Amino acid sequence: MPDRYEGKAIVFTRPLHAEVHEDVLFPRMDDNGVVLRTIYSGLSRGTELDLYSAQMHSLPPNSQWYPILPGYMPVGEVIEVGSAVEHLQVGDIALGSNLVWDFDERYCPAWAGHTEYAVISEHSHPLGARRAVKVPEGLDLKTASIALLPAIAYKGITVKVKPEAGETILVVGQGGIGNCAAQLCRAAGARVIVADLCENRLEQARLAGIEETINASEVDLWEAVAELCGAGGPEKIIEVTGEPHLLEECLRHAANGGLVHAQGMYLEPIHVFIPKTLFGRNLTFTGTVGETPEMVERCLEMMVEGTLKLDHLVTKVLPVDDATAAYQWAYECPEEFVTLVFEW
């Protein structure tokens, strides 16, 4: 095996431009590491399109910079295993995640998921090989490549929202994470209402079994919610769009004693008058980000069981060499897709 893997990667070289580079150096391997040869990698339309359009996520300024290695959902065959690794072996299929260190110094990793090889070691992430989760046999790999999206939703649902049978939950935003959040709440027995501006994403929600949908480009969101729920409103609201003004609206329209969960990536401040909004109506305001390998494992199990459906969320599979046009399409026509997957 090579001392250091080198190969192809998708790179954002400047705002609104993606390229494929052939000679990127990947992190070093170690005893607590694995190497995946990527088969598919899923595109996150939230995080990645933020970085694509120069909406950086980290503080202080300049901690993220171009050229960027984007992405965080590679699935591939394990081709090398460190001596201390027990949960994977050569030939397994595994799903990787965010990698943060030890890349080619010419590039900023954020978070380096669209790469020909994924070297998941203590050189690239504090958890080392634990960030690589084995994919169950029989699971479609194109679908497995977006399994971190339900895992991110799963963290919010299980740790903070805690849906209960019979209660009503509104999910605002039906991208990949929002769709999965709605499915997880429904699986817990809650009545789920979803809202989005794009009919295509609402159709994907209906394909997942969510019957009550609101097209907020055609009707007033909160008038439609009131018609469905009555004056009291939903007991819980999950906001997944990342739009600060929508999160503020959720806090203003939440039911007395209700919960608002922030699941989007908010890159601008929100304005909350706490005495009136939270204290005055006894609201609970929560938020989560990211996931754990254990949550990824559980979501993969739910996909095998059929209680979590992701196949309808993959709008298109594209060759990685089409990355330039793919990102341009994703940025300019968000209403036409939910997620994209690159084939390596």
Q: Which domain CATH number covers 200?
A: 3.40.50.720
Of 44, 69, 110, residue with least CA distance to 340 = 44
pLDDT at 242 over 80: yes
So what's the pLDDT on residue 325?
Answer: 98
Render pLDDT for 120-148 as a digit per residue (tens, 0 to 9).
999 999 999 999 999 999 999 999 999 99
Instruction: Give mean pLDDT, residues 33-59.
Output: 94
Boundaries of domain holding 138: 4-147+310-343
At 326, phi and psi to the nearest 5? -65, -45
115-119, 157-161, 275-279: which range is least confident on average?
275-279
Residue 185 located in a structural domain: yes
- How would residue 5 be classed by pLDDT, with cut points 50, 70 and 90? very high
Grade residue 61 by pLDDT with cuts at 50, 70 and 90: confident
Q: What local confidence, expressed as pLDDT, does residue 103 receive?
A: 97
pLDDT at position 258: 96
Residue 295 lies in a domain: no
User: Do 223 and 278 share a structural domain?
Assistant: yes
298 within some domain: no
SS3 call for 227: helix
CB contact at 8 A, 302 and 308: yes
Angstrom distances, CA of residue 87 to CA of 242, 293, 314: 35, 12, 28
What pLDDT, on the 0 to 100 scale, is given for residue 89?
98
- Kindly state the percentage of the chain with pLDDT values over 70: 100
296 within a domain of the structure (yes/no) = no
User: 228 and 325 share a domain?
Assistant: no
Q: What is the DSSP letter of 268?
A: S
**pLDDT of 13:** 98
Confidence category of residue 1, pLDDT binned at 50, 70, 90 = confident
DSSP label at 111? B
The percent of residues in the chain predicted with pLDDT above 90, rounded, is: 92
**204 lies in the same domain as 255:** yes
The answer to whether residues 279 and 318 belong to one domain is no
Residue listed under structure tokens 């300024």? 61
Average pLDDT score over the chain: 96
Backbone angles phi, psi at 43, to 5 degrees: -95, 130
Q: What is the pLDDT of residue 91?
A: 98
- Is 80 exceeded by the pLDDT of residue 60? no
* Pairwise CA distance, residues 285 & 292, whole Å: 22
> Per-residue pLDDT averaged across 181-207, rounded?
97
Q: Are residues 14 and 69 in the same domain?
A: yes
Q: Are residues 43 and 143 in the same domain?
A: yes
Q: Is the pLDDT of residue 299 over 90?
A: yes
Ranges 236-240, 250-254, 274-278: which has the least confidence:
274-278
Q: Are residues 318 and 282 in the same domain?
A: no
Q: Do residue 184 and residue 210 come from a single domain? A: yes
Does 237 share its domain with 267? yes
pLDDT of residue 276: 87
Report pLDDT for 119: 98
pLDDT computed for residue 59 by the predictor? 73
